[in-house]
Structure 1
C-alpha cells in the first residue's frame, strides 16, 4: 500500500513510519523543513516538502496514495484548529473514494468522567471536550462518508523515551527536586505504548485480524489504567527525587488550565479495537518503561 503521512518526523509519526515500512508499505511523508526531510528519509520514507498550510501539496499527495494518516498535531498551539481544518479538507478531497483515512485524535476529547470508563459511544461535544479542536477535526473526518475513515482516540502515548508529557514531568522533577501530582493523585489515566499504537494504526489501514475497515471511532489504550500518582512516583524513582501533592488551586497557579487536565479521570475502554482489529498491546507498562526501560536508558 502507498501511504501518505503527516507528522512522520514527530514522536509517534516516526514510530508509525518505521512499522509501515517494515510491513512492506511505501510511505510518503510531509516535511516542513530540511531537518524533517532528513529525518523521514532516514526512516525510509520519501519526503514531501511542505506544511499543513500547503493545501495544494496535501491534496496532490493524498490523490497519488492509497491511504492517508494524519498524525501531525500541536496540542499547545491555539491556532491549530485554523490550520488543521483547511488541511483536512485538502487531504479528504484528494483521497480517492473508498480509501482509508486515519485521523489521530486523543482521549482528551472525552469529558472528565471521574473514573468511569468510556466507550466510543460516550457523548462528546465541543463544549465538553478538553481538546475542542480535535473534536472538530473528528467531525470533519467522519463526515467524509465516501472514505473508510477511522478516528483513533489514544491515551497517553509513552515508550522509546518519548512523550512530551512524560519528558516534561521528568525535566520538572529534575529542575525542582520534586515530582508533583494534584490532590490524592488517584485519578486514572489511560496509557498506550507507542509501538502498540503504531501496530493498531497498521491494522486499521489493512483491516487487521478482525477484518475491520473504516471503524469510525476507536479508543486506543491498554486495559489497565493507572493512577496519576503512580506515574509521578515512577518519575521520582527515575530522577532520584520525592513526590508531593498540590491542591487544585496550587496546580492552577503553576500550570493554568492544564491543572484540570492533570486531575481528570477518564479511563478508555479499548474493546472495539480488540474486536475489530485483533489488537493486543504487548509493550511494557509505563512504570516499567520509566523506571527500568527506555527512559532509564536515556
Structure 2
C-alpha cells in the first residue's frame, strides 16, 4: 500500500522554493505515493493540480488547527516546509495530529524544516556583526548533537524546534532538516527563487554596489537546491525502509541534519556579484561597499540581516546514515545566472561601456 504524504509547502503553495523543489523530487522518485497538500484555496491549487493531477488538497492555513491536525493524523508522513521554522500554530497542530492518528505499532513520520540561522544566536546576542566565526560557533551534526538539540531558547527557530522535539515518541518519529544558504533554480511550478543571494544581487543592482557588513569576515554554509531536493527523497524513503525507519539517529532527538555542501564568506559573494554585474553591463564597475549591520538591515529583502552574522554547521549525518551525495554546481558557478535572472525580473538592461 502506497504511503500517504501530507505536504505543507512553503508559502502554503507547493510553488514555494523549498517546498516546490522537495515535492517535485519526491513525486518524481515515487509517483505511486499519495500526496495531500495544504493550500489556501482552489486558485492556489490550480498550478499544482495542472502539473500533478493526482494530488489531493486540503484548504486552509497553518492557523486552521483542525484542518492540519486531521490531515496529519491521516498521513503516514508529514513534510513541513510552510513557514515551518517559525510558525508555532502549524507545528503544534502537526504534533497533535500525528500523536492522535498513530501508535507505536503504526508510527507517523515528520520531516520538519528548520534553518541554520538558528546558529546565528551568538552573534545576535552579543551584537557581533561582520566578524569571523569563533571556534565555539561551529557545530557538527554528529559530534555536537547534544549542543545542537539544546541551543539557547533565544536562538532563531528554537521555539519551534522545541515543539517538534517534544513530539518525539514511539508513535511520532521526527527528523529535522536544517539547510543553510540555498542557491540554484527551484523545481516548483511557480517560485524558483531563493532569498539570501538573490536579495544581495537585487540590492547590488538597486544601489549600484554590493554590500559587505564591515569588516567582512562572516561565513555561512551553502547547498544547491536540487541537492536539497534529493535529501528530502532520502529522508522520505528512509521512513519506508525497515533498516532505517526505527533508527534513532535518523528519526529521533538525534535526527538533526545539516544539509550543507560548501561554505562562503559573504564578502566573497558580494565581490562575485559585483564583478558579474559589471561584466554583464549592469554596473559601471565592480563596486563593493562596507556597511554597518543597521544599514544592511534597511535594504530590501527578509534575508539581509543574515549577511552580518555567522552560521557554521558541518553536516555528516545525511552522508553517513542516508548515503546523500551532493552533486550540484558551486555557489560561485551560479552567480552569473543569478545576476541575469534578477536583472531581468527587475527590468534592468545592460549599459554600453565607454572606452
TM-score using structure 1 length: 0.85
Of 111-120 and 261-270, the range deviating more from structure 2: 111-120
The equivalent residue for 1:247 is 292
- Superposed, which structure 2 residues align to 1:59-98 within 5 Å? 59-73=69-83, 80-97=86-103, 98=107
In 1, Cα distance between equivalents of 2:227 and 2:134: 23
Residue 204 (structure 1) shift:
1.0
Which of residues 310, 315, 319 in structure 2 aligns to 1:270?
315
Cross-structure match for 2:128: none
Give the distance between the partners of 2:275 and 2:100, measured in 1 at CA.
Answer: 49
| Partner Cα separation in structure 2 for residue 53 and residue 259 of structure 1 | 27
Could you say what the CA RMSD is over the residues aligned between the two structures, in angstroms?
3.0
1:57 paired residue number: 67
What CA distance in whole angstroms lies between the structure 2 residues aligned with 1:179 and 1:294?
A: 14
Deviation (angstroms), 1:129: 0.9
The answer as to 2:204 corresponding to 1:165 is: no
Give the CA deviation at 1:179.
1.3
Structure 2 counterpart of 1:10, from 16, 33, 38: 16
- Asked if structure 2 preserves the Cα contact closer than 8 Å seen for 1:107 and 1:268, the reply is yes
Task: Quote how far apart the aligned CAs of 1:2 are.
Answer: 2.1
Output aligned runs, 1:93-172, within 5 Å: 93-97=99-103, 98-110=107-119, 111-112=121-122, 114-116=133-135, 117-120=138-141, 121=145, 122-123=147-148, 124-141=150-167, 143-160=168-185, 162-172=193-203
Change (3 A) 1:22 1:170: same
CA distance in 1, matches of 2:71, 2:80: 12
In the alignment, what sits opposite 1:194? 225
Give the aligned partner of residue 212 of structure 1.
244
Provide closer, same or farther for how the CA distance between residues 108 and 70 of structure 1 changes in structure 2, counting only shifts above 3 A. Answer: same
Q: Does 1:184 align with 2:245?
A: no
5+ residue gaps, structure 1 = none
Query: Could you say which residue in structure 1 is the equivalent of 2:269?
Result: 231
Name which of 6, 22, 25 aligns with 2:28.
22
**Deviation (angstroms), 1:95:** 4.5
- CA separation of 1:225/1:115 partners in 2, compared to 1, >3 Å: closer, same or farther? farther
CA distance in 1, matches of 2:76, 2:272: 42
Aligned length: 291
Distance 1:54 1:253, change over 3 A: closer
CA drift of 1:164 comes to 2.0
Alignment CA distance shift 1:95-1:21 (3 Å): farther
Residues 188 and 64 (structure 1), Cα distance of their counterparts in 2 relative to 1, 3 Å cut? same
The answer on whether the counterparts of 1:188 and 1:266 sit within 8 Å (CA) in structure 2 is yes
Task: Find the structure with the greater CA-based Rg.
Answer: 2
TM-score normalized by the length of structure 2? 0.72
Residue in 2 aligned with 1:32?
A: 40
Select between 238-247 and 270-279 the one with higher mean Cα deviation. 238-247
